[in-house]
Each structure stands twice: as C-alpha cells, then as structure tokens.
Amino acid sequence: MEKRSETTIHDIARELNISASTVSRALNNNPIISEPTRKLIEKTAKAMGYRPNILAANFRTKRTNTIGVMLPLINRHFFSSVISGIEEVAYDQGFTVTISQSNDNFEKETKIAQTLFSNRVDGLIVSIGMQTTNYDHLKLFAEKKVPLVFFDRVVDKIKAHKIIVDDYRGGFKAASHLIEQGGKRIAHIGGPLNLKIYQDRLSGYKDALEKAGIPVNESMLVHNSLTREDGTNAIKRLLQNPEKPDAIFCANDTTALSVILYLRKKGIKVPDDIMVVGFSNEPFSEVVTPSISTIKQPGFEMGKKAAELLIKQIKQKDKPVRYKTLVMPTELVIRESSVKNRNK
Amino acid sequence: MEKRSETTIHDIARELNISASTVSRALNNNPIISEPTRKLIEKTAKAMGYRPNILAANFRTKRTNTIGVMLPLINRHFFSSVISGIEEVAYDQGFTVTISQSNDNFEKETKIAQTLFSNRVDGLIVSIGMQTTNYDHLKLFAEKKVPLVFFDRVVDKIKAHKIIVDDYRGGFKAASHLIEQGGKRIAHIGGPLNLKIYQDRLSGYKDALEKAGIPVNESMLVHNSLTREDGTNAIKRLLQNPEKPDAIFCANDTTALSVILYLRKKGIKVPDDIMVVGFSNEPFSEVVTPSISTIKQPGFEMGKKAAELLIKQIKQKDKPVRYKTLVMPTELVIRESSVKNRNK
DNA sequence: TTGTAAGCGTTATCAA
DNA sequence: TTGATAACGCTTACAA
C-alpha cells in the first residue's frame, strides 16, 4: 500500500470535493480563483506531495518552455559565454535550455535542427557552422512560425532577430591599429567566406588598408577554418612570400596564438619583427607571452540579448515582429603582440 | 484551405483505411507489422508531411529522451569538455541534453534539480556546487528511481555511478614532483573541504610531503573558492609568512595563474624563486609564460563515460544496478613553472 | 467564482 | 498481423 504513482490534480480535487479544473486554475495562479480556495488548494497540493506533470501540460498546451540552442562548439570560450548568458535569462524566465553542438558539420547541424523542431522547442537560438551554405533546416523554423534568433554566425537570407558584433569595424580597427603601429605589409588569416562574419572582418581590414593608401595584396591573404593547425600552416605559407609580412590580423585568437607560438619557435620576434592581432579575446590571449591584442566580443551579453529577444517573441506569439539586427560593439584590446618599443 | 494543423497518425490511417494503431506500430518499427504495410505507411507518412508529436509520445510513455546536466559553470574548459563528451554520446543514442549551471549557488542548484525533475528528464548527470552540503534535492532522484550519475564533484552519501579522477594521486603526483624539483617549503592553495575532490587533492599533497619527511605546515595551507581573486589573495597571504614558500601546489589552474601573474608583477621568479603546479590543464596553462605544470583531467572522456553509464541505466530501468565509481587517470604535465634550471 | 466535459496525439491492452 | 478502444494528466471553452 505504498503511494500508487504520482498524485494528480484529480486526487487533490477528490480530496477537497471540488473540481479538477479549479485545482488546475488555482495552481496556475489564475486570478479568477478566490483567494481562500487557492490557499487551500496550494496547501493540500503541498501536503499531498503533488508535482505537476509537465509532460501532460506541455502536450496539452503545445508549448515546452524550452529554448533550443545550436552552435558549432560548446568548448570555446566565446560560445560557452554566450550559453551562459542565454541560460541566465532563460532560467529567470522559467525556460529550460537545450544545447546541441554541430561541430561545424553540416549534416549534424541539419539533424539537430530537425530533432529540436520535432521536440517542439518554443524557440531556437543559432550560430551556424562553417560548412553551412544551405538553410532549409532553418527555414523550417521560420516557416512554421517557431521563433528564431541568430547570433554571431547569422544567415542573411532568413528574416529573424540577429545578434552580431560589428565585425566590419572590428576588422577595421584591428588593421588600422596595425597600420598606426607602423605596419606596412599587413597579412590577414581569415575564415571561410561563406560566413558573413569573416567577409566583414576581411572588408574592414581591406578598407583600413585602402584608407591608409596601402594596396591589398592577395598573397597576404589566407583563408581556412581557423584551427590551431590552420594557423600554423597559414603562417608557414605567409613566411614563404618573397615579401614577408610585418603584421598579421588573424580572424580569431586561436590562429593568432598559433602564429605567435610558431614565430617564437623560429626565433622571430613578436611584435618587433611581426605584429599580431587576434579576434575574440579568448582567456589565454591575456596571459600568453606576448599577450595578444585582440577584438573583444561581449559573448555573455550577446547570449542574454538573444534569449531576451527570443523569449519576447515566444511570449508575443503571432503578433507581427519587426526583426532587428543588434550590432554589439567590439573593443580593441591592445596588448603586447602589436605594440613595438613598449619601453621607449 | 491551407493545411489545417499538423498531420497525425489518424490522418494517415484514414487516408489508407487502416487503424491508427497500425500506423503507430509501423512508424515505431514494431516487427509485428508486415513489411508491405510498413512500407506503405512510411511512404504515405512522408508524402503527407507527417511529423510525430513527440510531446504526445512523451506524455504517453512517461519518457522524454532527455538527459539533464547540472554543473557549476559552463564557461570553464573542463566543464565544457565534459558537456561535449556527454553531448556526443547522447546525440548518438538519440537523447537530447538539457544543461543548467548552478554558478556554485546552492539555492539555484536546488531549484534546477527540481525543475529538471519536474521536467521528467530520463536521467541526470551532476557535478555539485561549492556550497552544497545538503543533498535532499539529489536524493529525490535516487528515491524516485531516476538514474543519476555524478562526475568530478560527487556526493559520497548517495548511491550512484560516479566518474571521478584520481584526485588523491593527482595531488600526490603534483607535490612529489615539486619535492623532486627541490621544493622544501611547499604551500597548497586548496578548495573548500566539503568537496571530496579538494579533500583528496589535499590528502595526496600531505602524504607526498610526509613520505619525503617534510612536515605539513598549517601556515602553508590556504583554502578558498579558487577564483582568480582568491588566488591573488592566497599568494599575498603566503608571502607574508615568516618562512616563504619555495613551491606552491594549486588546486586549479586559475589560482596557479593568479599566483604566477602576481609573482611576475612583484619580480619574483617562477620557477626559480617559487615553483608552481596547477590542476585541470586549462588551455591557457600551456601558453602562458612560464607555462604551467598541471594535472590533466580527461574531461571529454569523463563526459562520454558519464553519458554511457547513464543511458545504460536508463535503458535497463528497474534492473538492479551495481553502482560503480570510475576513477579516471590523471596525468602530470610538466611544464616550465615547476622546473628550475631548464637549460643546465 | 466554480463545475462539466471535451480533447490534445500517442501508445498499450485486449480482442479479432 | 491488424483493429477498437481506453487511457495518460492537463487545460480550456462553455455552462452554471
């Protein structure tokens, strides 16, 4: 004669000789219920160890109170900061967060999107993978009116809220800074150009050069997937140029680090022989020697903003939305890797 | 006359003049259904754009195919690696992963646990917070037979699978290494002792000292929450000792980094004046100058193991479980911060 | 302010 | 091998 499964609202109703709907309403703080009734029901519910069956409620209401997050890689400081931001807002608003990483793999990304859709997440926050050039799996959300918010690696062609950083100005600031520091032959290690962020960083870089009257030299441009190995290969290739670079703007800190480590190994001095600027402000950038000048992106705030916009959209379902693109400011953090003659 | 809401198995059944149960069975690959029928149903389902209503299925089966993960902080390399490992296994096995961070806050941890429980996760993977000394919120899972797996910061008192690293041997190895390198006055910056991992790291350290005939000096021990600031405060305090340490074993890399940065600022040489060893092998440890000797923990593998054990338990529900504690090996990574006279 | 009753889409039981 | 039917626990018109 143990407890025969979980108590339901019907058990409570029977206990109090009232109807289940009243119990339901009271427990959902429906203002239509009188204060004494509510109090009584709450008390009894607690006493009977009632726990709402969220599965039933979700099923009934077609809502899950769950936000899906899909991004390339959890295990990167920028992305995990974004998750932290999302999680904080979501938690405060009573939402649960489901996270999946695509590993920059298009097939996995497609499957994840479908799974999240089938799982009826109330909304989705996405940063797309490096290989992604087809967006059908995301259009699905847009079409079926499931709120969708992009961050960082966004898709231009889909209408949705977008949280990005000002990659163009970031690239511009980075390159301008290198020019100010005396850079004449400024190389760029960039990411795949199907991603707008890398296009923009590149454009910013190019415009800064042009503004300074420095011609953009194609042999000074390398594009790859920005892994540690890619960075090493890129710097090797750049060093084979007849005219070696005297400064490098890397589209992320990982490659900036590779470059610095490789140059150190080769006895080439950073910043004296070659200056380096990265992008993202990974934690290691501050503490490596020389510390890496970089463009800071407010990951945590971006996550918060993304979650806020998404939840707002979820709550105002079927009201028309004016999609906005939030451009978060970047900040150039000047450290040792780009400043010659510090002690002069 | 657009599509009037989603197609259900009933729609398919009507279309084919068969029963909904047959459709359900076919779509679930129930072997009782004849091959031609199944094929036909699958074809029609696809043609009609059928998408199973997972909410309904979850409700009906009382399963969610969801794994809950609760840990202190997403935004730490070790933890995000664990998540990556969990996510990989879970994804392969058709499970969804829900992640929440407690921020080492006990109240938040309690609330998260209850939310996950109410959301009927099929199982929970946990690493508890620094403040956690009461475990009722976790016992709930154990009592209600919801599979539970601990990792890293485990709870002794609850019977469950546990994935830990050999913290004792890690501490022992770290301290022994410092002794071998000539350390005589070896300090320890440790974490809160209600967590077993920090107890064990401390014990390992103590035993290594004793084995070498070095008395353990209480003034050489600091315990705190191991943040960046805590590390700085700890080293300040240690430097005020009449007998200054010549080596420090830090219970994580974050404090090891603080120590190194502080000493650098004060013109105290690492490792020549004071040697430092950390714990965790955060990415920055390899690249900071001097690079930090540390104890490597296989976060990704721990995550995978945790997920595997959990899912096995979920699938073999109500079979009795022999709980095991998996002790993953640690590895001492020797770098610059603990080796004097490298060039001799 | 409360009650009645229908129904969400699926799976499971039993019968055919 | 397939079908009929009930049931899961909740929310929500609608009625009282």
The predicted-structure confidence for A197-231, as pLDDT tens digits, reads as follows: 999 999 999 999 999 999 999 999 999 999 999 99
User: Which nucleotides in chain D have some atom under 7 angstroms from a protein Cβ?
Assistant: 1-5, 7-13
Every domain range in chain A assigned CATH 1.10.260.40: 9-52
| Angle in degrees, 0-180, between the axes of helices B20-27 and B35-47, rounded to the nearest 10 | 90
* Sign of the Cα pseudo-torsion (B316, B100, B250, B197, in order): negative
Every domain range in chain B assigned CATH 3.40.50.2300: 64-165+299-327, 167-297+332-338
Q: Tell me the CATH architecture of domain A64-165+299-327.
A: 3-Layer(aba) Sandwich (3.40)
CB B15 within 8 A of CB B44: yes
Q: Indicate whether B343 pLDDT > 80.
A: no
Q: What is B9-52's CATH superfamily?
A: lambda repressor-like DNA-binding domains (1.10.260.40)
The predicted-structure confidence for B218-261, as pLDDT tens digits, reads as follows: 999 999 999 999 999 999 999 999 999 999 999 999 999 999 99
Question: Which residues of chain A lie closer than 8 angstroms to B108, CB-CB?
Answer: 91
Using CB atoms, which residue from B51, B76, B100 is nearest to A87? B100
Give the SS3 label for residue A108.
helix
Q: Indicate whether B270 pLDDT > 70.
A: yes
Please state whether strand D lies within 7 Å of residue A34 at its CB atom.
no
Question: Which residues of chain B lie closer than 8 angstroms to A108, CB-CB?
Answer: 91
- Tell whether B133 lies on the interface with A, counting CB pairs under 8 A: no
Q: Tell me the CATH architecture of domain B167-297+332-338.
A: 3-Layer(aba) Sandwich (3.40)
Q: What is the mean pLDDT of residues B307-326?
A: 90
Determine the nucleotide nearest to B28 by Cα–C1' distance.
C11
Q: pLDDT tier at B143 (50, 70, 90 boundaries)?
A: confident
Which of residues 229 through 258 in chain B touch A, CB cutoff 8 A?
257
User: Which nucleotides in chain C have some atom under 7 angstroms from a protein Cβ?
Assistant: 1-5, 7-13
- Predicted structure pTM score: 0.89
The predicted-structure confidence for B54-110, as pLDDT tens digits, reads as follows: 999 999 999 999 999 999 998 889 999 999 999 999 999 989 999 899 999 999 999
DSSP B92-151: HTT-EEEEEE-TT-HHHHHHHHHHHHHTT-SEEEE---TT----HHHHHHHHTT--EEEE
pLDDT over 90, % of chain A = 85
pLDDT score for B205: 97
CB B290 within 8 A of CB B335: yes
Candidates A180, A177, A146; CA nearest to A160 is A146
State the Cα–Cα distance between residues B68 and B78, nearest whole angstrom.
Answer: 18
Question: Which residues of chain B lie closer than 8 angstroms to A283, CB-CB?
Answer: 282-284
CB B238 within 8 A of CB B187: yes
Q: What is the mean pLDDT of chain B?
A: 93
Using CB atoms, which residue from B80, B87, B287 is nearest to A288? B287
Q: Indicate whether B326 pLDDT > 70.
A: yes
Q: What is the mean pLDDT of chain A?
A: 93
For tokens 């003049």, what's the residue? B17
Q: Indicate whether A287 pLDDT > 50.
A: yes
Q: pLDDT tier at A4 (50, 70, 90 boundaries)?
A: very low
- Quickly give A122 CA vs D13 C1' distance in Å: 24
Q: Indicate whether A337 pLDDT > 90.
A: yes
pLDDT score for B250: 98
